[in-house]
Amino acid sequence: MSVEFAPLLIEPAYRRVAAAIGARILSRELRVGERLPPEVQLARQFGVNRSTLREALRELESRGLVQRHPGSKLLSVSRPPQRAVARGVSHALLLHDATVRDVWEALTILEPPLTAVAARERTDRDLAEFEAAAAAFRADQADTDLAVQRAADVFRSIGRAAHNPVLALAQEPLLQLLEPSLRVMIDKVPQARSRIASAHRHLGESLAAGDAERAHGWMARHIRDFRRGYEIAGIGLGLRLSL
């Protein structure tokens, strides 16, 4: 019996170049804001032509690891935008048939403890950002699309107040799915907007007082209201989401 081997995959040169530069960035040898050498110099160092190098740089740009500032020919190391990174995760969740129930359960697990952390770690600036986000919801609540965006932004302000980038990045894909989840329900429940605004008020008071236990409790109640809204609207929690 003979043994068969699969053909070796030959990786394109531009991918090897992108991997080499990316490794330097992820190891922090190249820091955020640091400029890369000119294309001619980089191409010479890697022993590739400029078209290969440019393809590698385009791949790094698409991953958010480098960016070109207006008016500059040189690329500099950048930090991938949180929302852009999370968008790939939220799209994957949609393709895995995520439902309203899935999002609600995940929010139930993540948001109350995150809010408790925010109550302990928040600064005066964080409180101001939370109040601004809550005020924007009140101002724009008549417009459904804006209302759901503003509601998600209130959650984001709490995530930032926790000062934990891991928690904030874990939160963002859920918030990108919260928006379409809320959009299909909010107009069918007359009291939905006033309930959301009331929750914002209590959450703001808890954060301002630095009361982690109270903040945890109000966020848990806020998430329960989300589910209750679907029940009132007569919409099944098994509804599959779409953006």
Cα Dmax for the chain: 74
Report residue 98 CA to chain centroid gap: 16
Question: Which pLDDT belongs to residue 1?
Answer: 54
Per the DSSP assignment, residues forming a β-bridge with 35 are 76
Domains, the chain, in order of start with CATH, read 13-77 (1.10.10.10), 82-233 (1.20.120.530)
Nearest to 103 by CA among 156, 179, 191, 161: 179
Question: Which pLDDT belongs to residue 56?
Answer: 95
Cβ–Cβ < 8 Å for 65, 80: yes
Cβ–Cβ < 8 Å for 33, 68: no
What residues contact residue 76 under an 8 Å CB cut-off, 6+ apart?
33, 34, 35, 36, 66, 67, 68, 69
Question: Mind listing the pLDDT tens digit for each residue in 6-61?
Answer: 776 678 999 999 999 999 999 999 999 999 999 999 999 999 999 999 999 999 99
Residues of the chain with pLDDT under 70: 1-2, 8-9
Question: Which pLDDT belongs to residue 82?
Answer: 85
Per the DSSP assignment, residues forming a β-bridge with 99 are 240
Buried-state track 163-190, b at ≥16 Cβ within 10 A, e below 16? ebeebbbbbbbbbbbbbbbbbbbbeebe
Q: Which amino acid is at 147?
A: A
Question: Which pLDDT belongs to residue 211?
Answer: 98
